[in-house]
Chain A
Amino acid sequence: MSDIIIGIDLGTTNSEVAVVENGQVIVIADGEKKMLPSFVGVDDNGQIIIGETARNQYLVYPERTIKSIKRLMGQDTQIELAGQDYTPQEISAIILKRLKGLAENYLGQSVSKAVITVPAYFSDAQRQATREAGEIAGLEVVRMINEPTAAALAYDARQAESRHVLVYDLGGGTFDVSVVNIESGVVEVLSSHGDNQLGGDDFDQQIVLYLLEHIQDTYQVDVRQHSKAMARITRAAEQAKLLLSEAPYAQIEEEYLLEHEGVAIHLSHELSRMAYEEMIDDYINATLDAVHIALKGAMFTTSDIDEIILVGGSTRTPCIRERLLNEFGFEPHSEVDADLCVTMGAAIQAAMIAGQEVNTVLVDVTPYTYGTSAIGSLDGAPYPFMFVPIIHKNTVLPNRKSDAFATSYDGQDAVEITVYQGEDPDALNNVKIGEFRVEGLLDVASGNVITLTLGLDLNGILQVSAQEKDTGMEKSITIKNALSQFEGSSLQSAQQRINSLLGHMDPRVIEHESLAEKELPVAAEITTARELITKAEGLFEQVSREDQEDMVDLIETISNCIAAKDIQGLDAPIVELQDIIYYLES
């Protein structure tokens, strides 16, 4: 049992952790909640807070709360949090540490390995950043699997007949679509496509822009200057979006949003679903274009698809169901839990890697084409940066492909090898993901053959090597996020940087966790007590002085018991306080 591997869905908006126990997938709850909001903040005492508390704090202290960090993964950027700079990896690592803690608490043993899901369309850099986040959190990321694939894994795959399933995965920040063949217990991804910067956050943003415009028109105030008001508008926009999934209209009310030249500004506005759907129409169109690219990648048409699985909270948007119904002629499947299926799939994959018996085996593909540039031609004219694809989009993982290149002039003693990711015949229009130089080549005429080999592992991470054919001299690199992120600095210094981060960040996070852990076993009683106190305090204004004094006394007794962790002592004062409240309310 020591080698347990947990499955983690590290989402833009929410994150979850799951394990397989006795063949059953268990999503581990934090208290009552299975979803941990992907928010990280610093509270009044300088402590790091994670999840629900951080999300609640976001409204009041947006400047020391971070949301949607996933959208920055793989970028060379720093985020300020309470005066300190953090990389996206570090912030993600804080969330991962919390999930790790939850799992350890549940399992009663330490956990050091995880399968983490990433959007299928996450680039090499984004995958590397995710792995680094895991490392910082003290988790060996034994595998990264693609989110839509994980969702398909969670789906019952035991049926023998072949079913072609389209997984439409629209999360908070990313969109993926995969075409999957499920047959005889094998989940075989046929093609994937997506957009790693399109998600529910963009929908919120459209509503925010709309509201900002509305306030600008009504009050001539630019709310953008006020971070708190912006946080409230963002939250209101998100709530309106959620409401519009159920109702045709949403009433947006934010009183005292801000003060402008001594005048209080209230936001009160009704947003219709129709107006909202118009705002997000371009995004929905983009997802449907991606659906068709994925279908084409699998050499399918819409009529080849037997079922559609919707994944991610944003797929609750009603027009998405409608549009898919129009395209495919049938309704998407609704038995799959759009929020939890990705974590569940991660846990299934984790169990399989750990050697447990599982019913489903996964075969995945790369959504990207990888290659290099060479002297060649573009549109019929000679061109020095012609893209030469080596591993093509939708190739099964793992994969290794080689191609031969030749030196271009006599006595050429070095070659520069640049690796790109993309589909464009002009290499410069693709994403450069790494480069290296092979020196000390033989002093021979042009045409000295260099074999370039690209290997893509199960995690979608690329290993590149070049070999001079005649001498066997070889040079290889693994494309690391660090290479693109910290130009000029080496891989090693990037790793050192991460290690030193590990050193200074660990104690702080552990300290917070151990505190949370101690409270967990008694959480139920204490939560009841705290709720009761809040309720009692809410009644203060309408009760007699006598009652109020009684209540204050009882609250004090209860608070003392909570502080002393005296659970038994809580019983009597709680019953008394409940009686008073009952009497007052009836």
Chain B
Amino acid sequence: MQTPYEILGVETDARDDEIKQAYLQQVKNNPPDRNQQQFQIIHGAYSSIKDHKSRVSYDLFTLPTVNFNAVLERALKTEQTGTVNAEFLSKLLALDIDDNSLLKAFYSPDNT
């Protein structure tokens, strides 16, 4: 299963306008009138990552690799000061889902 980024051939940190251009190029190469299914895949990919808001919800709801336990465990282990406590955890969980830093933590745990 290709990710929307792969379908459109863009990097995961591509800007809105890059994504848009990639989409338009794909549409030109695969007009809906010639291949409806392929177009639907392209348009679906574009819709799911076209702007910040859609990328956040795509990352949150469709990323299959999110493993909350693993992420939390890592967060616990990498905490240098050893002051991980209930307060820290609840803070972590209470963060707005729209918050990028939390997303990043889920999305690329190695960078945390």
Contacts and interface: CB of A to CB of B under 8 A. Distances in A.
A399 B39 CA distance: 10
19 contacts: A183-B20, A183-B24, A184-B24, A186-B24, A186-B27, A186-B28, A188-B24, A349-B33, A353-B33, A361-B27, A361-B28, A361-B31, A361-B32, A363-B32, A397-B32, A398-B36, A398-B40, A458-B32, A458-B33
Contacts of B25: 184
Contact of A458 (B21, B24, B36, B43): B36
B77 interface: no
Contact of A184 (B28, B33, B36): B28
Contacts of A362: 31-33
Contacts of A127: none
Interface residues of A, number: 20
B34 interface: yes
Contacts of B34: 352-353, 355
Contacts of B43: 363, 396
A138 interface: no
A362 B40 CA distance: 13
A143 interface: yes
A3 to B, nearest CB: 14
Given A183-B24, A362-B33, 16 more contacts: A185-B28, A188-B27, A352-B31, A352-B33, A352-B34, A353-B33, A361-B27, A361-B28, A361-B32, A363-B32, A396-B43, A397-B32, A398-B32, A398-B36, A398-B40, A458-B36
A361 B28 CA distance: 6
Contact of B36 (A183, A188, A355, A457): A457
B91 to A, nearest CB: 35
A292 interface: no
Interface residues of B, number: 14
Nearest to B30: A361
A146 to B, nearest CB: 13
Contacts of A349: 33
A400 to B, nearest CB: 7
A143 B27 CA distance: 18
10 residue pairs, one from A and one from B, having the closest CB atoms: A361-B31, A184-B24, A186-B24, A398-B36, A353-B33, A361-B28, A186-B27, A396-B43, A185-B28, A361-B27
Interface of A: 143, 183-186, 188, 349, 352-353, 355, 361-363, 396-400, 457-458
A226 to B, nearest CB: 50
Contacts of A185: 24, 28
Interface in B4-47: 20-21, 24-25, 27-28, 31-34, 36, 39-40, 43
Query: Which residue among B27, B31, B33, B43 has the maximum number of chain A CB atoms within 10 Å of its CB?
Result: B33
Contacts of A183: 20, 24
Given A398-B40, A458-B36, A184 B21 contact: yes
A580 to B, nearest CB: 60
Interface of B is mostly: helix
Interface string B50-85: 000000000000000000000000000000000000
A159 to B, nearest CB: 12
Nearest to A458: B32
A188 B28 CA distance: 11
B29 to A, nearest CB: 9
B44 to A, nearest CB: 9
Contacts of A355: 34
A363 B27 contact: yes
Contacts of B24: 183-186, 188
Contacts of B36: 398, 457-458
A400 B40 contact: yes
B32 A399 contact: no
Query: Which residue among B21, B24, B39 has the maximum number of chain A CB atoms within 10 Å of its CB?
Result: B24
A188 B46 CA distance: 13
Contacts of A352: 31, 33-34
Nearest to A160: B21
A188 B25 CA distance: 13
A165 B32 CA distance: 21
A392 to B, nearest CB: 13
B26 to A, nearest CB: 10
A398 to B, nearest CB: 5
Nearest to A143: B33
A49 B38 CA distance: 45
A156 to B, nearest CB: 15
Contacts of A457: 36
B51 to A, nearest CB: 12
A361 B33 CA distance: 9
Contacts of A363: 27, 32, 43
A325 to B, nearest CB: 31
Query: Which residue among A188, A349, A396, A458 has the maximum number of chain B CB atoms within 10 Å of its CB?
Result: A396
A346 to B, nearest CB: 12
Contacts of A361: 27-28, 31-32
A118 to B, nearest CB: 16
Contacts of B39: 398
Contacts of B31: 352, 361-362
B80 to A, nearest CB: 46
A501 to B, nearest CB: 29
Contacts of A188: 24, 27
A425 B24 CA distance: 35
A188 B40 CA distance: 14
A399 B40 contact: yes
A177 to B, nearest CB: 22
Contacts of A353: 33-34
A133 to B, nearest CB: 21
Query: Which residue among A353, A355, A361, A396 has the maximum number of chain B CB atoms within 10 Å of its CB?
Result: A361
B50 to A, nearest CB: 12
A355 to B, nearest CB: 8
A324 B28 CA distance: 32
A361 B34 CA distance: 10
